[in-house]
Structure 1
Amino acid sequence: MPKVKPEKKSRIHGNISKQGILFNKDFGQHILKNPMVIKSMVEKSAIRPTDTVLEIGPGTGNMTMSLLESAKNVIACEIDTRLVAELQKRVQGTHLKPKLKILVGDVLKTELPFFNLCVANIPYQISSPLVFKLLLHRPFFRCAILMFQKEFAQRLVAKKDDKLYCRLSVNTQLLARVDIILNVGRNNFRPPPKVDSSVVRLEPRNPPPPISYAEWDGLTRIAFNRKNKTLASTFRQTSVLVTLEKNYRLHCSLNNQIIPEDFEIKTKIEKILMDVNAEQTRARSMDVDDFMALLLAFNKEGIHFA
């Protein structure tokens, strides 16, 4: 019988297979195997010898080893204890071991320490909450080089009137400059995911915009709930009116302001929208500056979203 050639595997993945470690889909584990993609991500992060780098989901450590060569320190956050053990083995007995700190657990529930840069291949299912955990982190970091599902990355950079433009787009662009810097096919991973990926560069705006992010998030949540409807229609919904009236009455109470007996929240909101010529505007056609002007107009009249 002819010999069957074994499937080619990198040494590290072969070792993991022998140890009985299977990648966990619940954790979104798709290990980046192409060294050229890893090299490109590390180069684009422009690591300085004094930098502390945060890596999320280091997996088997292919990117981690490259980061350790360039940075002062690497903080790797990993939820899978099997891969933590594998990562520890890779640095054991090397000059890189003292430079690596491993945080074991769910990154969304972990208090992140100081870091200068974040470089990571992000598990798809935590992409959105992780973006905002990073962008609201203090003190500020310099930039993040992050790999996401391609469509998610496109939503991050989408501009008003684009098909993919959404609340994620405008909330991200409020807090950061964001660009897609590299597209990565699914065959660069093991096991291959069902979709292609893109690498995004996020640079936090420092100083941040002089507004409450909780207020901003409340406004965009309402507006994008029906992004193709006019704002006049969106703010006419009973649930929206009830919430905003409750907030308004609380605001007046805290500031010792008397509310007229004939007060109607619907009339007040309609007047604010009319004053800024926004009643016929749709969320899909509003950029960061448009939402900023609208939020300030509402707040000036005592209407709050948080």
Structure 2
Amino acid sequence: MTDYTHRARKRFGQNFLHDAGVIHRILRAIHARDGEHLVEIGPGQGALTEGLLDSGAWLDVIELDLDLIPLLQQRFGQRPNFRLNQGDALKFDFARLDPAPHGLRVVGNLPYNISTPLIFHLLEHAGQIRDMHFMLQKEVVERLAAQPGGGDWGRLSIMVQYHCQVEHLFNVGPGAFNPAPKVDSAIVRLVPHAQPPHPAKDPRQLERIVRDAFNQRRKTLRNTLKGLLDAEAIEAAGVDGGLRPEQLDLAAFVRLADQLSARQPRDGEQTSDR
């Protein structure tokens, strides 16, 4: 029998899942079915891949590590519902995958060093995606699922919750991986909204408002947003400029973004991007 041993590479942030109980619990949460189209990011040694293929779903996998490609091909290449894509998920064009008829279902044990930029990349394709199930650093999942008023509430929470419903499913200890990471992990489910609960006139302006507001999160909004909105505009949005950004909910940030949209020319606008 072929030996599939592969040494995890630090530069790829690899921590391979090996705990059978955790693997089964993740597969149950995903609940893949025949006829669905799944995308697995970073299959590694295939801990989840086999169970996903056994569901009968079509599975595209995206793997960056060239050394893992022959292992995955040898193990799963003869499966009719398997397709291997070698490349960087951060640069992958998900639009080239046919999401019909039910949308893509994206899963992955994501390397901690790329998890946040990869989630933002996937949000650009949210219209094609039915749901996402990710293994992430527990701290990141807590930020994704955070509510206003606490230290975890910030840019990641707001922008992901603008696009998706967030559900923190369960935590996973370091012992489930080889090598064991130094932090706890967690499984999160992200389900893109059919329609945002608080639609912004221009989501790009929401990104600008949120970024500037949290650049100096201990300062008040009238200070952090002064390059975008004056005190009068903040008040016109129904927001107290004396509050700190972590005290505002998503709806308030959307109102601020809509004020900015109303005051900005659509083309050739002057930005205060830093």
TM-score of the pair, normalised by structure 1: 0.79
1: CA distance between counterparts of 2:57 and 2:262? 47
Tell me if 1:103 matches 2:85.
yes
Which one of the candidate residues 60, 63, 68 is aligned to 1:83? 68
- Cα distance change on mapping 1:92 and 1:172 into 2, 3 Å: closer
Partner of 2:242: 280
Partner of 2:225: 235
Displacement of 1:302 in angstroms is: 3.2
Displacement of 1:86 in angstroms is: 0.5
Deviation track 1:69-119 (CA, whole Å, cap 9, x = no partner) reads: 1142100000011111111111255xxx22111110111111122342112
Displacement of 1:157 in angstroms is: 0.7
Displacement of 1:130 in angstroms is: 1.0
Tell me if 1:302 matches 2:269.
no
Q: Is the 8 A contact 2:200 2:254 kept in 1?
A: no
**Structure 2 counterparts to residues 46-57 of structure 1, below 5 A:** 46-57=31-42
Partner of 1:114: 98
Displacement of 1:288 in angstroms is: 0.6
Displacement of 1:138 in angstroms is: 5.1
2: CA distance between counterparts of 1:218 and 1:81? 37
Which one of the candidate residues 205, 220, 226 is aligned to 2:210? 220
Tell me if 1:145 matches 2:130.
no
Tell me if 1:270 matches 2:231.
yes
**Structure 2 counterparts to residues 31-70 of structure 1, below 5 A:** 31-70=16-55
The DSSP-based 3-state class of the residue aligned with 1:84 is helix
Q: Is the 8 A contact 2:145 2:167 kept in 1?
A: yes
Deviation track 1:40-88 (CA, whole Å, cap 9, x = no partner) reads: 1111112221101000000011210110011421000000111111111
Tell me if 1:173 matches 2:135.
no
Which one of the candidate residues 177, 183, 188 is aligned to 2:176? 188
Amino acid at match of 1:269: D
The DSSP-based 3-state class of the residue aligned with 2:150 is coil
Structure holding more helix per residue: 1
Which runs of no fewer than 5 residues in structure 1 stay unpaired? Answer: 1-10, 245-267
Alignment RMSD (CA, Å): 2.0
2: CA distance between counterparts of 1:92 and 1:205? 35
Q: Is the 8 A contact 1:118 1:143 kept in 2?
A: yes
Amino acid at match of 2:8: F
Which one of the candidate residues 121, 130, 148 is aligned to 1:133? 121
Q: Is the 8 A contact 1:52 1:71 kept in 2?
A: no
2: CA distance between counterparts of 1:33 and 1:169? 30
- Cα distance change on mapping 1:235 and 1:92 into 2, 3 Å: closer
- State the structure with more CA Rg: 1
Displacement of 1:182 in angstroms is: 1.1
Amino acid at match of 1:211: K
Partner of 2:7: 22
2: CA distance between counterparts of 1:35 and 1:297? 51
**Matched residues, number:** 259
Amino acid at match of 1:157: A
Q: Runs of 4 or more off by more than 4 Å in structure 1?
A: 303-306
